[in-house]
Amino acid sequence: SPLAFGQVVIGPPGSGKTTYCQAMREFLGRLGRSVAVVNLDPANEALPWPCALDIGELVTLPDVMGSLGLGPNGGLLYCMEYLAANGDWLQQRLQGLRGHYLLFDCPGQVELYTHHEALKKIFAQLAKWNFRLAAVHLVDSHYCTDPGKFISVLCTSLSTMLHVELPHVNVLSKMDLIEQYGKLAFNLDYYTEVLDLSYLVDHLASDPFFRNFRRLNEKLVEVIEDYSLVSFVPLNVQDKQSMRQVMQAVDKANGYSFGDREHRSLEALMSAAVGADFHFSSTLAMQEKYVQSQDKAVEEEVMDL
């Protein structure tokens, strides 16, 4: 079969996976790509966008919970195992989507990406069917405002990257809402590039609750830095430049940038080849917007006083 490219959109509940799929489908459609969305979440019943393929045709979470007496978590695991066992059904349905760029909207249960084998087997099978996919792992950006939670996010992201075994792009979603959750301890590029985490441990040590767990946090940080794999791309789905940055990162990860399906400039080809971003505006632009919103909030507080 000819090569097909796409994204598997993963991440914890509430990270914005469905919203991302809708926004990316519209964004890529404006660029002239034929995009098809595949819903692999059996608990996602009310889809806000047209779906080319829905796992609900094969199995649904309410049916599994009702017939087998399982809870939401156990039922979701069963649904994924059932899908993995019925790969011929998925292969047959995907045959009609050849020639499309695919967006797989996946469930939000973290266990599926850290240690459960069902989705991993499904992704491996898709690779055998000549689907060239990149995992887009969404993480809510508000975790950056809490150093303890951010370390947890780093551990989860690293575990997911090692378990899923796909080209991986970690994304900090909902960047337009980050200022609502408090002020960042460091500049935004500290979190996106995952710079020297010892500063984060020192910041945690100032909290009486985390002071007793300093040694544990130091060891967790050592593991993250030893692998040196985790970094993030900031995303605001309402910002075209932000969407473009994520699209470029994913296209480099799954190999779409090196194909001949779109007209590209020399600058874009060089960026894909050497892994460098020649625009230098991605994180800096997002940081500038964040700082401006913080300054505006401070000015309003001063005026109120």
Q: What are phi and psi of 171, to 5 degrees?
A: -125, 130
Q: What are phi and psi of 101, to 5 degrees?
A: -90, 125
Structure-block tokens of residue 185: 């301890």
235: DSSP letter: -
User: 1 with 125: CB under 8 angstroms?
Assistant: no
Domain assignment present for 36: yes
Tally of structural domains, the chain: 1
User: Looking at per-residue confidence, does 210 or 121 come out higher?
Assistant: 121
Question: Is the pLDDT reported for residue 280 higher than 50?
Answer: no
Domain assignment present for 281: no
Which residue has 């045709």 as its token pair? 57
Taking residues 225-248, report their average pLDDT.
94
Considering only 62-66, 98-102, 273-277, which range has the smallest mean pLDDT? 273-277
- Distance, in Å, from the CA atom of 150 to the CA atom of 213, rounded to the nearest integer, reads 15
Sorting pLDDT into bands at 50, 70 and 90, what band is 7?
A: very high
Residue 96's alpha-carbon distances to 92, 125, 231, 263, in angstroms, are 8, 17, 35, 26
Domain assignment present for 98: yes
Taking residues 120-139, report their average pLDDT.
95
Residue of 187, 200, 206 whose CA lies nearest to 153: 200
Which residue has 């935004």 as its token pair? 188
Q: What is the domain extent for residue 151? A: 4-194+230-265
Domain assignment present for 293: no
Domain assignment present for 170: yes
Domain assignment present for 292: no
Res 299: pLDDT: 61
Res 250: pLDDT: 96
CATH of residue 129's domain is 3.40.50.300
pTM: 0.86
Domain assignment present for 16: yes
Per-residue pLDDT tens for 179-212? 787 788 888 899 999 988 998 888 888 877 778 8
Domain assignment present for 44: yes
Residue of 42, 7, 12 whose CA lies nearest to 23: 7
Res 209: pLDDT: 78
Q: Average model confidence (pLDDT) for the chain?
A: 86
